[in-house]
Amino acid sequence: MGKDKFYKSELRTFKKILILLFISLQACSEDTPEESFIGTKIRVNFYTELCTDIILQQCYLIQENDNIGENNWQLFYDLIEGFDYVPGYIYDLDVTINEVDDPPSDAPSLKYTLNKIISKTNVKPFSGKLIKQGICMNYVVQVNDINFPQNLIEKKWYDEFSQIKYENVFALESVCDFPENIKEGDSFSFIIDNEKKSLCAVCLAYSPVPEKSVSIKVED
């Protein structure tokens, strides 16, 4: 009987050790995702901006490592191999950065390769209003969201034709596919889509618009 009690006591102790070990392993597995990077973590913003490197192009806006989560974004002039960017999403990426051997003078010295997409977060569409439906698709959109990128809009703009002052506006750049059923005074939802090209014939009659223009995609 004494041996049976001893074995039972040892068995209970062994079970407790197994349970504690299992809990420890679970805790470790929950903590590893943020640390299991192959390369460097970068965040890509939900829209691109026009920039000039060798040529005029659209650039990603990124944050890297310790700068992720801050208000400042830096222009990224290169490509990320294996990454298919879609406007309207904020991406957290794991990328490998390698030096390029003897790059040409007009080529980047670093090569970025996607290891994996850590997260892809959909950004809520913005609210806009077509405040001016000028001749020859000279359209002006007013933004109704305070979190819209302020560097893309004219905070104050004066229409010399109507002599009306407007706030938080931009000229519509993506005129080719703007819905015909949206009329002056109508509100609509949209995302910023500077990646697409406006390739259509538009007349050249003058109608004043803000200096800053944005390409957008109207959401249903």
**Left, alpha or beta for 92 (phi > 0: left; psi -120 to 50: alpha)?**
beta
Residue 11 lies in a domain: no
* Statement to judge: residues 89 and 148 lie in one domain: no
Residue 6 lies in a domain: no
Q: Which domain holds residue 142?
A: 126-219
Residues in a beta bridge with 216: 192
Residue 14 lies in a domain: no
* Statement to judge: residues 150 and 110 lie in one domain: no
* Statement to judge: residues 76 and 96 lie in one domain: yes
Residue 218 sits at the vertex; the CA angle it makes with 216 and 219, to the nearest 5 degrees, is 130
* Statement to judge: residues 76 and 137 lie in one domain: no
Residue 151 lies in a domain: yes
* Statement to judge: residues 131 and 215 lie in one domain: yes
* Statement to judge: residues 115 and 168 lie in one domain: no
Last residue of a domain, one of 104, 122, 140: 122
* Statement to judge: residues 94 and 144 lie in one domain: no
Residue 138 lies in a domain: yes
Nearest to 139 by CA among 181, 168, 169, 162: 169
Residue 185 carries which side chain, given as an amino acid letter? G
* Statement to judge: residues 101 and 138 lie in one domain: no
- What is the predicted pLDDT for the residue at 55? 85
- What is the predicted pLDDT for the residue at 2? 52
pTM of the model: 0.78
Last residue of a domain, one of 122, 155, 190: 122
Residue 10 vs residue 51, higher pLDDT: 51
Residue 115 lies in a domain: yes
Residues in a beta bridge with 81: 113
* Statement to judge: residues 95 and 130 lie in one domain: no
* Statement to judge: residues 72 and 146 lie in one domain: no
Decide: 95 and 40 in contact? Cβ < 8 Å. Answer: yes
Nearest to 215 by CA among 167, 188, 175: 175
Residue 5 lies in a domain: no
Residue 101 lies in a domain: yes
Last residue of a domain, one of 102, 122, 142: 122
* Statement to judge: residues 191 and 175 lie in one domain: yes
Answer yes or no: is pLDDT of 163 > 60. Answer: yes
Kind of pairing, strands 49-52 and 74-76?
Answer: unpaired
pLDDT digits 0-9 by tens, 23-62: 555 544 444 344 566 899 999 999 999 898 778 899 999 9
- What is the predicted pLDDT for the residue at 193? 95
Mean pLDDT, rounded, for 56-71: 93
Provide the number of structural domains found in the chain.
Answer: 2
